Structure 1
Amino acid sequence: MTSTRLAILDDYQNVAKGFAPWQSLEARSVEITTFNRPFGSPEETVAALTGFDAVIAMRERTPFPREVLQKLEKLQLLVTTGMANAAIDLDAAREKNIVVCGTSGSPTAAPEHTWALLLAFARDIPAQESALRSGQWQTSVGFELAGKTLGILGLGKIGHRIAGYGRAFGMDVIAWSPNLREDTASAAGARRVTKQQLFAESDIVTLHARLSERSKGVVGEKELRLLGPDGVLINTARGALVDQNALVDALKYRWIRGAALDVYDIEPLPANHPLLSAPNTVLSPHLGYVTTESYTRFYREALEDVVAWLDGLPLRTLAG
């Protein structure tokens, strides 16, 4: 019997096989290969995945544009963790009859990480821990969240939860997105404002919009200057929502107080990236969805997708 070759991509922590009963695929003659490092280019992606029938992609870590999909001649199934993946060309996949499926995800992982970054920035925890370990004691003064204004750009499921966190911490919550309605904002406990008001009135702006051609670069020099020298930017959504050059300048020239970031224009972040040396930052390596609970959902449902596809009844398909 001819085996089916399945690739599990970007398993950075080498943990994928522990989150689902992959051994159940042995009886279906499925040969599994895991990749623990990112591919450096589309050419590397094609070279590594040529000959595979099915691929499981972790979020948007590996792009699958048209030029890659066209060269993967054996590929029949592409599973993405989550139900949206801007790095997959769904139209090209449909044209090649590649089935694209998704999974659910944790509703709490990303908002909890957002709040962890905000608290870490407010109390300067990373720098204070480093100072303490080097023999110093109390080298900076933090600030409280109570009484501050929290601006939320993108009031979807994650933004709605963030609004609740803000209210619980005694913050005034305002929100903006292009199609945000007053009743939607009110239901989340937020006040709808204009984009200009969001950046001018907020002490902290946190981004929770989906990346699209319309939202790319939604935060640029104008918005950062409006946020001002006491303002903080939090981004756990997508790096491309922010003009990265403008953000580096904002930090370097103190247009804003600082930034707490989990996402970047290039991932993994290169060692020479200017944000790594920018002042007044708290940085994490895109950990928003990296939890035991999230990975359990991702990989177990990805396995379900593979089994359903083998049975000719694909689950959770994404339309192009």
Structure 2
Amino acid sequence: MNPDAPTTVLPRCAILDDFQGVALASADWSPLDGRVEVRALREHIDPLADPDGLVVAVEDCEILVVMRERTPLGADLLARLPRLRLIVTSGMRNASIDLAAARARGITVCGTASASEPPTELTWALILGLARQVHTESAAIRAGGPWQSTVGLDLAGRTLGLVGLGKIGGRVARIGLAFGMDVVAWSPHLDDERAAAHGVRRAASLTDLLAAADVASLHLVLSDRTRGLIGEAELRAMRPDAYLVNTSRAGLVDEAALLRALREGWIAGAGLDVYETEPLPTDDPLRTLPNVLALPHLGYVTRGNYGRYFGQAVEDVEAWLAGKPVRELG
């Protein structure tokens, strides 16, 4: 070996927010062996609260693999990462990445395909959990509490209101129909024909849907038009025995109004998988309110979905290395 020969420095890739420590085992990363140095970071670093910490953690990287909208990558932060050349995000949209700023800096942004089955299944886990008070009864058993302290809600014959009838909303609708529920849907662009194609009725307005629903479930994309769609007026339109379920995006709901609704009994309860701040702070009231069934953003967290996401992330990196990026965003 010639000690004076130049050392080849491989491009570095950081996988962010690998909470469970499974990213490297969820897909075959071997195609990148000897070509990219890959590491996974398990601890979340919030770039809004600690931008310096995130910069220190990834400033040596040419590639970032990010999970959904968890790590906002705005223009200021991108400017502090001069080595960065490729961002791979789960899903084919990520509103927290400044695509224009990335493009201006020569950073390629690619996505991965997503499946609608896992979030559909988790939506129903929350609906069923709320209807039968699973969280309350399970906690009572663990604590040696009373035997059978609640009375469940029958779903058959009840009204399921879906705010959004896309891929996930459509799947949720089919299961609701199988339970014998009356399924009503609304979205800004939903028409009677598309609603009928799913076997459901179209509500005339969001307020009408919320007023009729025993369970209202949100399945819209977060945008400037839909942010804060469910506010105080909408929550007050719901009945005090109705439930709200959100497995979509936290920004669809005014969080302050939701906390009031839960504390003051405007609604019976909520099933939540998404939050404005993730991970949810340990002192957040949503962790302890008795009428909240809260999960730590598990909608996409399945073996199959992780295999698809990380497998396609590897493909995206390979294609970028070959100078032929695939699944580019924007």
TM-score bucket of the superposed structures, by smaller chain = over 0.9
| One-letter amino acid matched to 1:134 | A
Tell me which residue corresponds to 2:218: 207
Alignment partners' CA distance in 2, 1:185 and 1:97: 43
Bigger mean CA offset, 46-55 vs 214-223: 46-55
CA shift for structure 1 position 297: 0.2
Tell me which residue corresponds to 1:6: 13
Alignment partners' CA distance in 1, 2:264 and 2:116: 36
Tell me which residue corresponds to 1:169: 179
Alignment partners' CA distance in 2, 1:107 and 1:240: 20
| One-letter amino acid matched to 1:183 | E
Tell me which residue corresponds to 2:323: 312
CA shift for structure 1 position 278: 2.1
1:137 to 128, 133, 147: 147
Partner SS for 1:263:
coil
Alignment partners' CA distance in 2, 1:213 and 1:73: 30
CA shift for structure 1 position 188: 1.3
Tell me which residue corresponds to 1:34: 40
Alignment partners' CA distance in 1, 2:121 and 2:262: 25
Q: Is the 8 A contact 1:45 1:68 kept in 2?
A: no
Bigger mean CA offset, 210-219 vs 180-189: 180-189
CA shift for structure 1 position 23: 2.7
Tell me which residue corresponds to 2:26: 19
Partner SS for 2:38:
strand
Bigger mean CA offset, 35-44 vs 213-222: 35-44
CA shift for structure 1 position 61: 1.6
2:82 to 65, 73, 95: 73
CA shift for structure 1 position 230: 1.1
CA shift for structure 1 position 186: 1.1
CA shift for structure 1 position 2: 2.4
Alignment partners' CA distance in 1, 2:171 and 2:97: 27
Tell me which residue corresponds to 1:280: 291
Alignment partners' CA distance in 1, 2:52 and 2:242: 42
Q: How many residues align?
A: 318
Tell me which residue corresponds to 2:4: none
Q: CA RMSD in A?
A: 1.0
CA shift for structure 1 position 47: 2.1
Alignment partners' CA distance in 2, 1:280 and 1:127: 9
Normalising by structure 2, we get a TM-score of 0.94
CA shift for structure 1 position 63: 1.1
Bigger mean CA offset, 39-48 vs 280-289: 39-48
1:153 to 163, 175, 178: 163
| One-letter amino acid matched to 1:286 | H
5+ long unaligned stretches in structure 2:
1-7
Tell me which residue corresponds to 2:3: none
- The CA deviation string for residues 203-241 of structure 1, in whole angstroms up to 9 with x for no partner, is 111000011111000001111111120111000001111
CA shift for structure 1 position 133: 2.2
Note the 1:81-92 alignment, pairs <5 A.
Answer: 81-92=90-101
Tell me which residue corresponds to 2:104: 95
Tell me which residue corresponds to 1:107: 116
- The CA deviation string for residues 83-140 of structure 1, in whole angstroms up to 9 with x for no partner, is 1111111111111111000111222000100000110111111211121123331111
CA shift for structure 1 position 24: 2.6
Alignment partners' CA distance in 1, 2:184 and 2:143: 40
Normalising by structure 1, we get a TM-score of 0.97
Partner SS for 2:316:
helix
Tell me which residue corresponds to 1:196: 207
Note the 1:121-136 alignment, pairs <5 A.
Answer: 121-135=130-144, 136=146
Alignment partners' CA distance in 2, 1:310 and 1:159: 37
Alignment partners' CA distance in 2, 1:161 and 1:76: 37
| One-letter amino acid matched to 2:200 | A
Alignment partners' CA distance in 1, 2:278 and 2:34: 36
Q: Is the 8 A contact 1:175 1:191 kept in 2?
A: yes
Alignment partners' CA distance in 2, 1:237 and 1:147: 25
Note the 1:209-288 alignment, pairs <5 A.
Answer: 209-288=220-299
Q: Is the 8 A contact 1:252 1:279 kept in 2?
A: no
Partner SS for 1:296:
helix
Alignment partners' CA distance in 2, 1:315 and 1:117: 35
5+ long unaligned stretches in structure 1:
none
